[in-house]
């Protein structure tokens, strides 16, 4: 229940490393640091717990309602899209995969990503960030405030936004900065455009060299003694007389950030904020992802006149519920006749 | 002869005259009676409305059928994703009529094919399997053409499918007829020029309790094992009861009946989804 961080300190004979061993006898064992000393419901009665939850939900609704019209409450000056400008991305949730068909009858698989409660949290100007480009912190999916530290809550309080599960940073050109608290919607991307999706891949745990790096292993029979999935040789012989750094060996696989580049957007649903993105995307179902415009030079030309700096409902409120790519077969049309 | 007919005619006319007189008298009597009773003009009594009873079809007896691909599989996906897929499925069903059919029914499917003459391609076969959920739902049709067994797997919601007609609607003892691959060819042959057999939209679907004779072993799968739970094969012609009992006992998994994690009760979900789909289709 309490959020604990456990760090195991081991003293062993030849191990120096970065650990400052003051008194070796006292450090044997486990030192646990408690991040949050008490959880919110520990000393509350049941009625109060219910009330806390209820009041938090109300607070969320009020905050989202306040931010619904970003263009009405003192927005920052908006600039036009130019050739080299980069705009913000979104934080989305992977729903699952489905088939789609083109007008010529070919079938492709798409992943459905839903943009849930995406708000801009903070804006850092070029000078503050790294001297090259401005950065916008964007948060996705609302979560409970009771399990977040005070430092994180301060960030969300400054933006006037409910706490988010994932906060990512998008490097953005100076003409595309947005005021913190602005909601971002799926219509920010249009069908026919290409995107890059980044997420943490599914963790596979400690894996051997055949699964992790695709080594061929050894034959199953013909005299192999206890050697079927081992790496075999680890490098050249006496000349370097060492194993090079970065040698592919067994280890923890997965649970790292992986980006899938150049994924086409086939369809956008503006009512439920769902993006239909080509192919597969790293991460498990219901995981939080970072979606941004492609970095690939050959696909950037499709992004002509996008909603810049982002899509505002008050301005372009009359979009259809479903926006389709040109070559996508819409289910309401009659069957395809090939010729 | 002529006199007789003339006489008859006179008789008939006189009868008619009498009848009309009778009616007139009645009406006259009726109104006059009221008039004498109330001393007012008679109130207009409208005739009773005719009650139309539709004896051909009553709502209670039309079959409630929800296609199996609407029922979501058990998993951790958000039900919202299935909701979005169902909307697309209903849109496609409004454009193309996908009839009700079961495994064991005989269907004819016309599909758009760039390499065929006339650009369409018609295939008739018996449905042996219905797989997949959501938009990717498929069904496999099997037929034997010129001595060669042919199975085609069609996607229900593919835009290349132009028509799906049910030539014969029936169910079989199993929900998966893959064993027809190892059965005698006569059980998988369907006449491509078959005329559709009429069936009623009400009442129970006829169950064909046919038990199929198999080719000699080895089969592609061990159909006698309890994991397949096949009712539609004549096992008494293929193996002795002792062999059958041995196989059933050896490969039985009696603990699966008590496995709570394998339970998946879809009744409530089915009702909800059926109501939703009916509403959308009738819009």
What angle, rounded to 10 degrees, do the helices at B79-95 and B267-282 form?
40
A84 or B11, which is more confident: A84
| Residue A15: C-alpha distances to residues A9, A29, A251, B205 (Å) | 11, 16, 21, 76
Q: Work out the average pLDDT over B241-252.
A: 96
Q: Which residues contact A211 (CB under 8 A, 6 or more apart)?
A: A204, A253
How high is the pLDDT of residue A37?
Answer: 67
Beta bridge partners of B141: B127, B152
Contacts of A105 in chain B (CB under 8 A): 112, 158-160
Determine the Cα–Cα distance for residues A158 and A139; give it in Å rounded to an integer: 13
pLDDT at A11 over 50: no
The ipTM, to two decimals, is: 0.83
Nearest to B96 among A99, A114, A335 (CB): A335
- Bridge partner residues of A33 (DSSP): A5
Helix ranges, A175-311 (H): 209-213
Q: How many CA atoms lie within 13 A of A29 on its CB side?
A: 6
Q: What pLDDT does residue B101 have?
A: 95
CB atoms within 10 A of CB B70: 20
Average pLDDT of span A179-188? 92
Q: pLDDT for B32-75, tens place per residue?
A: 545 555 578 888 888 888 877 666 655 555 788 999 999 999 99
* Residue B81 sits at the chain A interface (C-beta within 8 Å): yes
User: Which residue from A96, A285, A338 is facing B112, i.e. has the nearest CB?
Assistant: A338
Neighbours of A104 (CB within 10 A): 13
Letter string b/e over residues A137-169, b meaning 16 or more CB atoms within 10 A of that residue's CB? bbbbbbeebeebeeeeeebbeebebbbbbbbbe
H-only helix segments in chain A: 24-27, 46-66, 126-129, 150-159, 209-213
- Determine whether the interchain pair A269/B134 forms a contact, defined as Cβ–Cβ distance below 8 Å: no
Residues found in chain B: 283
pLDDT in tens, A223-256: 889 999 999 999 999 999 999 999 999 999 999 9
Q: Is B93 helix (H, G, I), strand (E, B) or coil?
A: helix
Q: How far apart are CA A316 and CA A337, in angstroms?
A: 36
Q: Does B113 touch chain A (CB under 8 A)?
A: yes
- How do residues B252-261 score in pLDDT, each as one tens digit? 999 999 999 9
Q: What was the pLDDT predicted at A4?
A: 43
- B14 vs A120, more confident: A120
pLDDT of residue A1: 42
Position A98 confidence tier, pLDDT thresholds 50, 70, 90: very high
- Taking contacts as CB-CB distances below 8 angstroms, the residues of chain B near A99 are 135-136, 155, 157
pTM, two decimal places: 0.80
pLDDT band at residue A13 under the 50/70/90 scheme = very low
Q: Which of B159, B163, B280, B281 best tests the A interface by mutation, with the highest count of A CBs <10 A?
A: B159
What confidence category does residue B202 fall into, taking pLDDT thresholds of 50, 70 and 90? confident
């Amino acid at each position: 229940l309490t959020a604990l961080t456990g760090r195991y300190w081991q003293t062993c004979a030849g191990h120096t490393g970065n650990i400052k061993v003051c008194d070796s006898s006292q450090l044997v064992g486990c030192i646990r640091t408690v991040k949050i000393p008490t959880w919110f419901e520990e000393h509350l009665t049941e009625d109060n717990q219910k009330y806390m939850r209820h009041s938090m939900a109300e607070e969320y609704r009020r905050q989202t309602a306040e931010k619904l019209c970003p263009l009405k409450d003192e927005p920052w000056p908006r600039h036009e899209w130019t050739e080299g400008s980069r705009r913000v991305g979104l934080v989305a949730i992977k729903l699952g995969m489905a088939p789609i068909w083109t007008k010529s009858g070919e079938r492709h698989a798409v992943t459905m990503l839903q943009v849930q409660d995406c708000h801009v949290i903070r804006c850092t100007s070029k000078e503050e960030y790294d001297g090259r480009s401005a950065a916008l912190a964007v948060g996705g999916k609302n979560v409970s405030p009771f399990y977040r530290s005070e430092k994180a809550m301060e960030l969300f309080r400054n933006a006037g936004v409910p706490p988010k599960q994932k906060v990512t940073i998008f490097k953005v050109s100076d003409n595309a900065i947005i005021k913190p608290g602005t909601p971002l919607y799926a219509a920010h991307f249009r069908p026919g455009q290409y995107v890059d999706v980044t997420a943490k891949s599914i963790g596979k745990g400690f894996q051997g060299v055949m699964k992790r790096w695709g080594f061929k292993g050894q034959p199953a029979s013909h005299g192999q003694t206890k050697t079927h999935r081992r790496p075999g040789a680890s490098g050249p012989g006496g000349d370097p007389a060492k194993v090079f750094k970065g040698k592919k060996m067994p280890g923890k696989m997965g649970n790292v950030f992986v980006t899938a580049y150049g994924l086409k957007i086939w369809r956008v649903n503006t009512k439920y904020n769902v993006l239909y993105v080509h192919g597969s995307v790293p991460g498990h179902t219901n995981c939080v992802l970072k979606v941004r415009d492609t970095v690939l030079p050959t696909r950037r030309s499709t992004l002509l006149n996008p909603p810049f700096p982002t899509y505002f409902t008050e301005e372009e409120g009359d979009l259809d519920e479903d926006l389709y790519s040109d070559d996508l077969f819409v289910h309401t049309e009659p069957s395809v006749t090939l010729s | 002869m002529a006199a007789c007919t003339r006489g008859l005619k006179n008789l008939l006319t006189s009868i008619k005259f009498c009848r009309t007189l009778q009616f007139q008298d009645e009406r006259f009597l009726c109104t006059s009676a009221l008039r004498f009773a109330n001393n007012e003009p008679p109130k207009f009594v409208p005739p009773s409305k005719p009650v139309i009873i539709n004896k051909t079809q009553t709502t209670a007896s039309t079959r409630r059928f929800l296609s199996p691909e609407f029922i979501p599989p058990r998993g951790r996906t958000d039900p919202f994703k299935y909701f979005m897929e169902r909307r697309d499925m209903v849109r496609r069903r409004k454009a193309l009529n996908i009839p009700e059919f079961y495994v064991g029914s005989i269907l004819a499917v016309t599909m758009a094919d760039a390499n065929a003459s006339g650009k369409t391609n018609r295939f008739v076969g018996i449905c042996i399997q219905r797989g997949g959920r959501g938009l990717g739902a498929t069904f496999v049709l099997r037929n034997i053409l010129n001595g060669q067994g042919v199975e085609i797997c069609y996607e229900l919601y593919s835009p290349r499918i132009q028509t799906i007609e049910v030539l014969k609607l029936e169910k079989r003892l199993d929900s998966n007829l893959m064993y027809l691959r190892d059965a005698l060819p006569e059980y998988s042959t369907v006449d491509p020029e078959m005329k559709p057999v009429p069936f009623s939209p009400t009442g129970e679907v006829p169950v064909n309790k046919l038990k199929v004779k198999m080719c000699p072993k080895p089969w592609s799968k061990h159909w006698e094992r309890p994991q397949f739970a096949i009712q539609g094969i004549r096992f008494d012609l293929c193996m002795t009861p002792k062999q059958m009992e041995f196989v059933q006992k050896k490969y039985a998994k009696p603990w699966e009946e008590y496995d709570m994690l394998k339970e998946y009760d879809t009744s409530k979900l089915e009702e909800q989804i059926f109501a939703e789909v009916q509403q959308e289709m009738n819009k």
